[in-house]
Amino acid sequence: DTGVSQNPRHKITKRGQNVTFRCDPISEHNRLYWYRQTLGQGPEFLTYFQNEAQLEKSRLLSDRFSAERPKGSFSTLEIQRTEQGDSAMYLCASSEDLGDYEQYFGPGTRLTVT
């Protein structure tokens, strides 16, 4: 197993455009999490899935953001009508559905909105 993967690694877009990121979790992990990390800060929780069900959303997740995990495997995070304030690293993590729920992170997608 190669761990959590994310694509693309970098995305530059113009303000107002829509972007979509993909996350492929560790294969046996039922839980999948999205975080946002801005420069000099720790990751901030956005949302998480247990299998295909989206169970919690942070207040940081405005109505321009939507996340899906249609078959309980990979997940997508879409940002509509991007704003400069959306520029950040978007991190995906996955965990097993037991124990300490240790979260393992992917390399992230760095979004730059110009």
Partner 1 sequence: GENVEQHPSTLSVQEGDSAVIKCTYSDSASNYFPWYKQELGKGPQLIIDIRSNVGEKKDQRIAVTLNKTAKHFSLHITETQPEDSAVYFCAASNRDNYGQNFVFGPGTRLSVLP
Can you tell me the distance from the alpha carbon of 53 to that of 58, in angstroms, rounded to the nearest whole number?
Answer: 15
CA angle 87, 105, 75 (to 5 degrees): 70
| 95 touches partner 1 (CB under 8 A) | yes
- # residues near partner 1 by CB under 8 A: 27
Output the smallest distance, CB 93 to partner 1, in A. 8
Q: Which amino acid is at 33?
A: Y
| 114 touches partner 1 (CB under 8 A) | no
Output the smallest distance, CB 61 to partner 1, in A. 14
Can you tell me the distance from the alpha carbon of 92 to that of 24, in angstroms, rounded to the nearest whole number?
Answer: 8
Output the smallest distance, CB 49 to partner 1, in A. 10
- Residue placing its CB nearer to partner 1 in the complex, 43 or 65: 43
Q: E strands along the chain, which residues?
A: 5-7, 10-13, 19-24, 31-37, 44-50, 53-57, 65-68, 75-79, 88-95, 104-105, 109-113
Return the residues of window 19-78 that contact partner 1 according to CB under 8 A. 31, 33, 40-45, 48, 50, 55-56
- Which residues make up the interface to partner 1 (CB under 8 A)? 4, 6, 31, 33, 40-45, 48, 50, 55-56, 91, 93, 95, 99-108
